[in-house]
Structure 1
């Protein structure tokens, strides 16, 4: 299959889970159903160090087809406090910054038309997260303060590398009830939290001065021509083209 633009979602569990429970990846796939192919490359518990190791495999520079858009989320696991054993996902802040810089460089080198959006660390509901963490795991220390630091680092790298970024740490906290409404377990996003991600991404795609524009309303719809095989009108004399029908959506996305 070829010909349609490819959007790749790359990162850790917030990406892997983005097709579950009304997730933001599934919503984007619906919005772009006849516009682009949404490809999921999400890996639970991954950090920027591990992601950097597979960049050539996930995004080979010699691929005949390069993505039009890559959305990257990494940092939440990096921000976990270091384990005394030296094991675990923690990555020091300065290394995280360097890793994200290298990831950005790799993605920007794929093609002149490959666009990149970074998602920064969202906040946490620390109490809910403590209650929902499996007893099979060693103590995991996550705090909103470290999330803020890694979020700010992600935003800084994005500006340095001239790529777009969604400030999830602050975007989610614009809701008064964010701590209870936006998470399933204190960490991973609920449908309400995912809707914030979708709106932030769509806003960037609408406002970015990219050629071609990657906002869904500006992209051509596949197989939009009229057909005698479309649904028949009430008069029985013609058919009606449903290519641009969006009645099924709970939210009218802009």
Structure 2
């Protein structure tokens, strides 16, 4: 790689002209739509960030927009989607992630976030077919399953949250996301299974995270039993890259041109 002093770069760029200076450029978007697990990603206290890592991968190619809403379930998602989602005239959306279920899976008569399993699946189908999303030509959608939960970490929570979620129920909602993806022909990032693989689960009972089982390695992925920590987001990042490369290869970074070509291509 050629190196140069800032002064030399400044002198060089002063002689470079950008053509079509009257034309305003815009960046296509990936929109990450979800609940608090999406919203809080990027907290520097948690370490690795799924969105930040992808933003680096797609630097100068795609704007990645975080639209995470803490506390929301899929019913809330359907209400808010038309309020924030850009029209094709405002931005070109290339990819949408739909990452809900952690709140839907809370038990009835606890936090008020519960959505029955079949209703949850219907809500997901409605999100996948929403006209605000489908208005964007050739838009791709990724479903992401909720991660496992670790009931052991809820011991320090206050009620009603302390008793609101069960490991076996989280698994059922993750399975439902996979089912909806199969029914709709939509790619799925199976985060639940990836996390279980990460902690070495062999598929036999008891289920890691269940309070009736021994403590598992889920605490290294979930900082409070529900939300991903840095290592959990790292698993999500790795799994999403695999799924995009397999299902939507046209969206891997190398296939998307930079918005503005560099002044010095040999440095790029």
Partner of 1:235: none
Deviations 1:94-153 (A, max 9, x none): 11011000000016522231100010111011101332x2x3756442111111111111
Matches within 5 A, 1:47-196: 47-59=73-85, 61=87, 63-83=89-109, 88-106=112-130, 109-131=134-156, 133=157, 135=158, 139-176=162-199, 178-196=217-235
Higher relative contact order, structure no. (Cα contacts within 8 Å, ≥ 6 residues apart) = 2
Larger radius of gyration: 2
What is the distance in 2 between the residues matched to 1:125 and 1:2? Answer: 46
| Deviation (angstroms), 1:2 | 4.7
Q: Could you say which structure has the higher helix fraction? A: 2
Q: Could you say if the C-alpha distance between residues 188 and 209 of structure 1 is closer, same or farther in structure 2, counting changes exceeding 3 Å?
A: closer
RMSD: 2.2
- Which of residues 212, 215, 220 in structure 1 aligns to 2:257? 220
Report how many aligned residue pairs link the two structures.
225
- Aligned 8 A contact 1:48 1:74 in 2: yes
Structure 1 portions without partners, runs of 5+ = 231-239, 244-254
The 3-state SS of whatever aligns with 1:8 is strand
Please list every run of 5 or more consecutive structure 2 residues that lacks an aligned counterpart in the other structure: 1-23, 201-216
Q: Which whole-Å CA distance do the structure 2 matches of 1:100 and 1:63 have between them?
A: 25
TM-score of the two chains, using structure 2 as the length reference: 0.77
Q: Secondary structure at the match of 1:54?
A: helix
Paired residue secondary structure (1:18): coil
| Residues 1:143 and 1:136: Cα distance change in structure 2 (over 3 Å) | closer
- The alpha-carbon distance between structure 1 residues 158 and 108, as it changes in their structure 2 partners (threshold 3 A), is farther
